[in-house]
Structure 1
Amino acid sequence: MGTERRTPLDRRRVADTALKLLNEVGLDGLTLRAIARELDVKAPALYWHFKDKRALLDEMATEMYRRMVAGTALDPDDTWRERLLKANRGLRAALLGYRDGAKVFSGSRFTGVEHAEQLEDSLRLLTAAGFSLPQAVRAFTTVYLYTLGFVTEEQGVQPPPDERSEGFDLMEERARRLAGYPLAAAAGAELFTDHDRHFEEGLALLIEGIGVRYGLG
């Protein structure tokens, strides 16, 4: 009787499976037991690699980052504005590639040092443009946190498909509930539609503000 050799279980394989399952069940439905079932192993086998779900989320965020930067090269001729724009557009696109992607990424601690190369390069570019190191760090992290928060809200606006009633319309429901508050009701179109445009406008506001604050063109 032939035997089939299983692919060895390691951190990367567990994280890859978890990311695939994330798109199906969302963060709340992602359990170590469900991941183990996908891998056809017993749940205790995962504890050899991850002590708890938080440790797994850290590895998932790291894998998301690896995929985001794979095959991309930083342009040494970027201005500091171009670098912040490119980095955060790329981050948003990467987070939107996963259900609850921003929630997974938020608060996670990278398990490797892959992020350090791009961070080093960006901080070097900003300081060469006239930022002090503290200013460069503040500019970089402020725009990063804007992107993370924006995508968290963007992904949380609509109920997931499996929780959405037939014919559900967010704007209609919101207008009905806020009928007594006409400005707040009308603001819904600005808050909850055309996310691409709103992200770009917010990003431009932040970057312009950084330039004014630090006196940099």
Structure 2
Amino acid sequence: MAASIAVLDERGLDKLSLHAVAARLGVAQPALYHHFRDKSEILAAVAAEVLDRHHTERLPHPGDDWRDLLVRYAQSLRRAMLAVRDGARLLALAGPRAPQLANAVAQVSFLEAHGFTGADAILAYVAVSRYTIGATLEQQTARDGGAIRFPDGDAPSAESAHLLDLAAQVAKLGPDHEFAVGLTALVHGLAPLRHP
């Protein structure tokens, strides 16, 4: 897997192929067919490896509140995607659709113990995961760094100047802050799903 991740980091997701991995390893491409049938299998294996290496905060800690776990989970997932080139695209395209069973049981049980129904616990993780993947995808693919832009053709006014100043202030805060604000809003918005 190290060779596959190295190719991903060097060439990007679109150029990650069995041929490129074989060349990196110095073997003939057919040798890889013992391990992967096609590109989709190698992408799935690389996605799983990235998560195993970098998504290290999946389980509750003693004394955690349910919000603590969801926030730490999302931050860990984001770090995993940012650890490799095109990481968000990789997980969106090929990430595991079946979570590790032991982790999923612990995650859902923890939220159930904090007042969520089982279905709502799963939906909470789906919401947090999708927000995290989407925000990270935008960060990794935005040509302009994700800055807020307005059309140049409009006549300037005091209101538009104020809005441009606010957009510049938000840009200075950076993507980590922007992600944290959205994540906080999302997690606190999940509170009504709980049944005390």
TM-score using structure 1 length: 0.75
* Match of residue 8 from structure 1: none
How far 1:76 moved relative to its partner?
Answer: 3.1
The answer as to 2:113 corresponding to 1:144 is no
The answer as to 2:96 corresponding to 1:80 is no
In the alignment, is the contact (CA less than 8 A) between 2:117 and 2:194 conserved in 1? Answer: no
How far 1:64 moved relative to its partner?
Answer: 1.1
Q: Tell me the alpha carbon deviations over residues 53-91 of structure 1, each in whole angstroms, 9 at most, x when there is no partner.
A: 111111111111211256986413211100000001011
Structure 1: how far apart are the matches of 2:130 and 2:58?
22
Structure 1: how far apart are the matches of 2:146 and 2:123?
36
In the alignment, is the contact (CA less than 8 A) between 2:57 and 2:73 conserved in 1? Answer: no
Match of 1:67 among 50, 53, 60: 53
Structure 2: how far apart are the matches of 1:44 and 1:53?
13
* Match of residue 109 from structure 2: 124
Structure 1 residue runs of 4 or more that deviate by more than 4 Å after TM superposition: 69-73, 169-172, 187-193
- Counterparts of 1:22-101 in structure 2, within 5 Å, are 22-69=8-55, 74-101=60-87
Structure 2: how far apart are the matches of 1:139 and 1:101?
22
* Match of residue 5 from structure 2: 19
Q: Tell me the alpha carbon deviations over residues 150-188 of structure 1, each in whole angstroms, 9 at most, x when there is no partner.
A: 1011000138xxxxxxxxx9869x56xx202576x9386
The 3 A distance-change label for structure 1 pair 33 and 91 is: same
Identity over the aligned pairs, expressed in percent? 31
The answer as to 2:155 corresponding to 1:195 is no
Structure 2: how far apart are the matches of 1:192 and 1:56?
38
Question: What number of residue pairs does the alignment pair up?
Answer: 188
Letter in 2 for 1:97: A
Structure 2: how far apart are the matches of 1:109 and 1:143?
15
The 3 A distance-change label for structure 1 pair 48 and 26 is: same
How far 1:110 moved relative to its partner?
Answer: 3.4
In the alignment, is the contact (CA less than 8 A) between 1:96 and 1:151 conserved in 2? Answer: yes
Structure 2: how far apart are the matches of 1:54 and 1:28?
12
The 3 A distance-change label for structure 1 pair 39 and 111 is: farther
How far 1:92 moved relative to its partner?
Answer: 0.5
Structure 2: how far apart are the matches of 1:146 and 1:170?
16
Structure 1: how far apart are the matches of 2:39 and 2:31?
14
TM-score using structure 2 length: 0.83
Letter in 1 for 2:10: E
In the alignment, is the contact (CA less than 8 A) between 1:57 and 1:108 conserved in 2? Answer: yes
The 3 A distance-change label for structure 1 pair 207 and 75 is: same
Q: Structure 2 stretches of 5 or more lacking a match?
A: none
In the alignment, is the contact (CA less than 8 A) between 1:58 and 1:111 conserved in 2? Answer: no
